Amino acid sequence: MIELASTSAQTDAQTDATASARAAAASAQAETHVAGSRADPTPLRVAGRELRSRLLLGTGGFPSLESLAGSIRASGSELVTVALRRIDPSAPGSLLAVLEAEGVELLPNTAGCFTARDAVITARLAREAFQTDWVKLEVVGDEDTLMPDAPELLKAAEQLVDEGFVVLPYTTDDPVLARRLVDVGCAAVMPLGAPIGSGMGIRNPYNIALIREAVSVPVVLDAGIGTASDATLAMELGCDAVMVASAVSRAQDPLAMAAAMRCAVEAGLLARGAGRIPRRTYATPSTPTAGTPDFS
């Protein structure tokens, strides 16, 4: 059932016993979450790899490598994206050295590719450069919106899966395309909330919830996140993780925003597990009406 669209009231006919058993279980679960390091007790599994952090961080747009390193630490992220570009002798410092020092895993992307052919070649090059089979597959079809090109994306995904890659495609918020991508063997899907770098949040939350229902692999909300509440909403909608880049790297204080995103993802995951109350048009008193005095 789609959380957002649901307006049906929970039945009031639960027995006290069921309710209290539920409360005990929920409270035990909450203690597990809150105790210690706030670590998620159920790590995210993608293609056999366990990730304790539900936050993926893009490395693009940071004002400096120091800012990037600090933001990685503040975000708690274990998986960060990198791009592959022509060598630039004037580039300051070594990005790879910084990422290795932070102990994060690399997720190479195919950003800038407009055809399946280019994306496949870029993925192969990334595998050589970084010795990883993982790839965040991006095939865009439009320079202004950077929206994914669905037919090219699907074609590239199929070929890369055949070549043994672990493919995480950046896709639209179309549940049918998401299913097709999983059908060809993608290890996760990364639907956009809004165009890359737009900071407009999740424009169609219903579709994100539909994607969560449509596929059995992890769903990682990618692109469009502007601030912490967007990341929380993604997790509340059922996403398994959130990817942020510009929202952190271009914030006035990237480290503070990285920390905020970490909390936001944890909050959303907890809230999703806790089970939100149904939306109602009219008020439901939270204070009992029984025992109200009569001053007439």
Partner 1 sequence: MIVLNGEPHEQGAGEPVAALVADLGLPEHGHGVAVAIDGEVIPRAAWESRVIADGAHVEVLTAMQGG
Closer of 85 and 280 to partner 1 (Cβ): 85
In the block, residue with structure tokens 């596929």:
215
**Is 136 annotated in the active site?**
yes
Q: Is 125 in the site for partner 1 (CB under 8 A)?
A: yes
Q: Is 21 in the site for partner 1 (CB under 8 A)?
A: no
Q: Is 144 in the site for partner 1 (CB under 8 A)?
A: no
Contacting residue, 2, 83, 184, 200, with partner 1 by CB under 8 A: 83
Q: Is 241 in the site for partner 1 (CB under 8 A)?
A: no
Residues of span 35-64 touching partner 1 by CB under 8 A: 58-62
Closer of 3 and 118 to partner 1 (Cβ): 118
Q: Is 272 in the site for partner 1 (CB under 8 A)?
A: no
Host H or E run for residue 57: strand 55-58
Do residues 120 and 160 lie in contact, with contact meaning Cβ atoms separated by under 8 Å?
yes
Neighbours of 66 (CB within 10 A): 12
Which three-class secondary structure state does DSSP give residue 108? strand
Closer of 84 and 184 to partner 1 (Cβ): 84
Q: Is 288 in the site for partner 1 (CB under 8 A)?
A: no
Q: Is 164 in the site for partner 1 (CB under 8 A)?
A: no
Amino acid at site 7: T
Q: Is 79 in the site for partner 1 (CB under 8 A)?
A: no
- State the Cα–Cα distance between residues 148 and 169, nearest whole angstrom: 9
Q: Is 69 in the site for partner 1 (CB under 8 A)?
A: no
Q: Is 107 in the site for partner 1 (CB under 8 A)?
A: yes
The two three-digit tokens of residue 287, written as one number: 């204070």
Which three-class secondary structure state does DSSP give residue 109? strand
Catalytic residue among 136, 155, 212, 262: 136
Side-chain-side CA neighbours of residue 30 (13 Å): 11
In the block, residue with structure tokens 């960060």:
80
Q: What are the backbone angles phi and psi of residue 168, rounded to the nearest 5°?
A: -115, 100
Name the residues that contact partner 1, by CB under 8 A.
Answer: 58-62, 68, 81-89, 91, 94-96, 99, 106-107, 109, 111, 121, 124-126, 128-130, 136, 138, 245
Task: Tell me which residues are annotated as active site.
Answer: 136
